[in-house]
Structure 1
Amino acid sequence: MHEPSSPASWRIALPHTTAAVPVARALVRTALTDIESTADTDTAELLTAELVANAVEHTAGQDPIELVIELLPTGCQVEVHDSNPQPPGDLTDPGPHGEPDPWQEHGRGLLLIRTLSSSCGHRTTASGKAVWFTLPARPPHRH
């Protein structure tokens, strides 16, 4: 049972497939425009793509992945829900192995999220986990 979405939030189920990644990017851009968020849509797209790709890659089964986009007074928050209760590496600390090699193909997603978001984390849900990040509102452009 989900609480009803406010006009300033979107909640979308995505298929458990890599095809969900470009769909999620487009949805975040559309949603942030729709809810009139002033957060950086390019950064939101990039980080959402990382979260959705991680959810597809690290979650077994075919349960849908849920994307939640919410307008905050200070920017926006994006959550990706999946059915795997295991935490996603460590979003807040690189851990004992240090930062990933920037030239490696994998392992940079969480670093990107930690670096580019104003805050990020994960929480256990009734059906698995939610991984989230927040982005601040951009100051208005001066001409």
Structure 2
Amino acid sequence: MSENEPWEYSLHIPNDLRAVTISRRTLRLILTVHGLIGLVDVAELLAAELASNAVRHTKGPAALRVRWSPPGTLRIGAWDADPEPPEPPMPFEREEEWESGRGLALVRACADVWGWQPLTREGDRGKYVWCELAALLQTA
């Protein structure tokens, strides 16, 4: 598989904060195997924020989805069982806010575009919060 072919992975996440670390590490492996190591750091941060929000703010299952669309768009999204819209991202006004409550503000700051939509998955109502990163690929 090359960066010119689309691919997609989904990871089911239990309602357990330890799943956030597993999600980050799985994403790192996926991007590395597909030769997208230049996106790993930012993508890991975004995936961790999306997965963390899905686990922290809901009681049900969640899922992380990673999709590559040529010529260079990486979409990372998290589904959770809460159909309520996410809280709008707030600007970082105080240094103490940098460590907690930063979720969607970091996503907004680091992603090229982000959004959310209501979604039903396996009979459960919920929402899908996503973001995209554009990759500048080097051709040999």
TM-score by length of 1: 0.80
Q: Is the 1:122–1:132 Cα contact (8 Å) retained in structure 2?
A: yes
Query: In structure 2, how many angstroms separate the alpha carbons of the residues matched to 1:134 and 1:49?
Result: 14
Deviations 1:58-93 (A, max 9, x none): 102xx32111100022220011000001111125xx
SS in structure 2 at match of 1:53: helix
Instruction: Name the amino acid aligned to 1:111.
Output: A
TM-score by length of 2: 0.81
What residue is the counterpart of 1:71 in the other structure? Answer: 68
Aligned residues: 130
Cα RMSD after superposing both structures = 2.3
Q: Is the 2:11–2:23 Cα contact (8 Å) retained in structure 1?
A: no
Cα 1:39–1:121 shift into 2, 3 Å: farther
Q: Structure 2 regions of 5+ residues with no counterpart?
A: none
SS in structure 2 at match of 1:129: strand
Query: In structure 2, how many angstroms separate the alpha carbons of the residues matched to 1:124 and 1:140?
Result: 36
How many percent of aligned residue pairs carry the same amino acid?
A: 33
Structure holding more helix per residue: 2
Q: How far 1:19 moved relative to its partner? A: 0.6
SS in structure 2 at match of 1:40: helix
What residue is the counterpart of 1:121 in the other structure? Answer: 115
Structure holding more strand per residue: 2
Query: In structure 2, how many angstroms separate the alpha carbons of the residues matched to 1:35 and 1:121?
Result: 25
